[in-house]
Every structure is written in structure tokens, then in C-alpha cells.
Copies of this chain bind each other. A is one copy, B any other.
Amino acid sequence: MISAEQALEMILARIDILEAEERPVLDSLGQVLAEDVFSTIDIPPLDNSAMDGYAIRAEDTRGASPRAPRVLRVIDTVMAGSISSCEVAPGTAIRIMTGAPVPKGADAVVRFEDTDEAGRQQPGESARPPEIGIRREVAVGADIRRAGEDVGRGSWVLDRGAVIRPAEIGVLASLGRATVKVIRRPVVAILATGDELVNAGEPLPPGKIYNSNTYSLAALVLRYGGVPRILGIASDREDVLVNRLSRGLDADLLITSGGVSLGDYDVVKDVLAKEGEINFWTVRIKPGKPLAFGTVRGTDRTGAARNIPLLGLPGNPVSVMVTFELFARPAILKMMGRRYLAKPVIEAVLEDSIENSDGRRVFARAVVEERDGQYFARTTGPQGSGILTSMSLGNGLAIVPEDEAGAGPGDRVQVMMLDWSQELWN
């Protein structure tokens, strides 16, 4: 048997970061930046007003006070997005709105509150008065935002490797970028195997069960940013299996469920071994001991031959989800160019018991709550690997190490958090 760390290391050694693609900015949300982004413009592009007020020459305000306003002639109005064709000469002012470029000749802005504009206008009126009284001295540069103050032309803005969040989308748009170079999302082909499987929505003949693995796997792929491609169900007949698998041979990763345990005498292992170079492992974890990993011969997007990584997960619904989190998620994140591949692990006080009967690392489905700055974990009840509702009841996996016989009430355990709360993605 190999450890979970050994399995993950061998998997990641065969996984490459995918190539970059140019994408419309808004479509890149959640992808990883594949270029360093520099600004080709100044933001703001021109000196502009930080306030609604009057653009003036600072020297014209010398000695101004509420009692002795300096009266200037108002020669124009300028709004954000316009440029005044007038120049502020001594003794004149231009009415200016927030964000509007500072007109020629002006070197400061006096805000409305520091003028007598209110007394010169009818209520609700907003046209410019012919003259304006300045009630306060202002310094050169007052209430002017300088060109390039936020972002200078040529300056570094975003790092290659950053994850695109809403803020990065906004920043890219503010630089005038319509598209951006990001690592593309992996296409992950998903194949469920087993004669006993029937797809949801169909009648259930005796002896059959509904296929849940395809759906939980596709949802996990979506959640972590991949593009699922559902290959359906392959029965345990070799020709069906080969045919289904062949539809996924231009994907970036193939995930199968079922047919990889040591005791099996179905054809999945034979076919996988024939179609590529696959290793069958037993991993010292519970649930999820049997695991297959290797490559199958496929093609890339141009049709050229290429080896595609294949991850063969066990067939039990819980084992599938747990082994996906342990092995497939890091692989998908690495393909996407993510730097941090691990889920957060917290320490919690266990409130019930977890047994470890056979020296494997146990991942028990658990509910983690925070009370008074301390995390508490309790298991979701029976931990059978067919009990998928246990994944739905929990938000984390409480870990009992290989060399411990179990954990009881009051023990401190590590918990790999799958969701921070029921309220995912908030």
C-alpha cells in the first residue's frame, strides 16, 4: 500500500499546466492569468477634479474668506467626459464636475461648499452663474487628481498566476482590455463503469442501482473550474468500455469510477491496461483504497497523438467523492495554473468517535461548527462508503491518522474542510 501523499505526488508528477488562451475579460472569471499585465494608459488619463466645484488659479483665491469672497467670472462649465475649450485666465473660473479634466490655466479646484454658488441660484437650478464668490484660500493642486495617480502608464498592475476575481475583471476593463490571456480550463471526461448502473430518470430494473457517480463527479469538476464531459455508463463488456472511453480521448483528463479494486474480475482493469500505461494502487486511506492512475493514448486539440492522464476511482459513491477531493481536485487545479492545491485543514475538538480498525488513514464525514472561537466536529453518523447522504450532511472530512486506532470525544482532530458552511460560495 502507498500513502495518500505518495499517490498524490505520483499523480501531480504526470499533470502539466495547460496552455494559455485569449479570452473575453468577463469570461475569464476564476481562471489564472497567463501574462503579466502592465498599463498602457494613465489612470486617470488627465488631471481631473476630485469634487464638484470651480477650477481656478490658486493665486486668485489669496485672501478669500466667507466675509470677503474673491469674485471670479465664470466662463464655462465642464463635465466628466468633456474637455473645456476655454482657458482659465486670471480673474476667471470654470465650473467643473467631479472627474472632469482640469481646464488649461487652472491649478486648483474650489468645491461648491467653499463658494457662494448656493446664494446665486434658484432652488433646484443648476446652470452656471455669471460670477462666483470664492470663500476660502486654496493651495495649488487642491482637489485635483493627477493623471496617472492611480495607475501610471507602463506600470505593473497584475501578476501572471493571479486568479481572476471580480476585482481583477474590473481592473482589466479599466485598462481598456477587452480580452486577457489565461490558462484554459481542463476538459474532464467522466466514465462510470458497472453493469448494475442505470441513469437517473429511467426505470430501475431489479438488481440495478442509479448511477450517482457521474453526476457528483461532473458537479465537482464544475465546482473546481473544469469542464465536465459526460461519457455515460460503460457496462462490463470490453467493446462497450473501449467505445465509451474512445469518446473521451481528446479530453485533458479521464476519470473513471468503479472496476479498479484488487478483487475485481471485471474487464475495466484489463481494458485500461490495454489502452494505456496504468498503475493499480492500493492507497492507505478509508474510504477509497483502490485507485488507478496512468495515461491512455489519445489526441490533443490539433489531433496529434498524446498521452492523456487517467484517474480510476473506486465505485462506491462516497469513495468517489473523497478520492476526487484528495487526488482529482489537485490535478485539475494544477492544470488550471493554480498555485495552492490544498483544501484548508483546521483543528477541531471531536464530539463523538471515529474508529480506525485496519491502519489506514480515515476520512470521516463530519459537521464542523465554530463556537466561541473554537471548532467542533461530529461525524455524520454511519460511515459506510455507499451512504452518500453522509457527504450531504457534512462539510468536512475528519482525519484519523494511519497509526491511531481511532479518536474519541474531546480529542483534537484535523479536519479537511470541503465547504466552510452549508452556504457555499458566499
Report which A residues bind B (CB closer than 8 A): 25-26, 29-30, 41, 43-46, 51-52, 79-83, 97-101, 112, 126, 145, 149-151, 157-158, 162-163, 165-179, 194-202, 204, 206-216, 218-220, 222-225, 236, 261, 263-266, 315, 317, 321, 333, 338-344, 384, 386-389, 391-392, 419-426
Q: Which of B79, B83, B201, B391 sits near A167, CB closer than 8 Å?
A: B391
Q: In the assembled complex, how far is the CB of residue A170 from the closest CB belonging to chain B, in whole angstroms?
A: 3
A-B CB contact pairs (8 Å), 13 listed = A29-B222, A79-B195, A79-B236, A79-B266, A81-B208, A97-B266, A158-B392, A168-B392, A169-B219, A170-B212, A176-B202, A178-B200, A333-B426
Given A225-B425, A419-B165, decide whether A201 and B213 contact each other with a Cβ distance below 8 A. no
Q: In the assembled complex, how far is the CB of residue A426 from the closest CB belonging to chain B, in whole angstroms?
A: 6
Specify how many copies of this chain sit in the oligomer.
2
> Are A265's CB and B195's CB within 8 A?
no
Q: In the assembled complex, how far is the CB of residue A318 from the closest CB belonging to chain B, in whole angstroms?
A: 9
> Are B174's CB and A220's CB within 8 A?
no
> Are B340's CB and A45's CB within 8 A?
no
Q: Which of B43, B218, B388, B423 sits near A163, CB closer than 8 Å?
A: B423
Contacts A82-B207, A170-B321, A178-B199 aside, 10 further interface pairs with beta carbons under 8 A come to A41-B204, A43-B209, A52-B263, A79-B195, A166-B223, A170-B216, A170-B219, A173-B210, A173-B211, A179-B201
Of all chain B residues, the one with the shortest Cβ separation from A202 is: B176
> Are B389's CB and A157's CB within 8 A?
yes
Q: Which of B45, B51, B97 sits near A209, CB closer than 8 Å?
A: B45
> Are B216's CB and A169's CB within 8 A?
yes
Of all chain B residues, the one with the shortest Cβ separation from A157 is: B389
The answer for the CA separation of A336 and B97 in the assembled complex, in Å, is 39
Of all chain B residues, the one with the shortest Cβ separation from A325 is: B166
Residues in B neighbouring A167, C-beta threshold 8 A: 216, 321, 388, 391-392
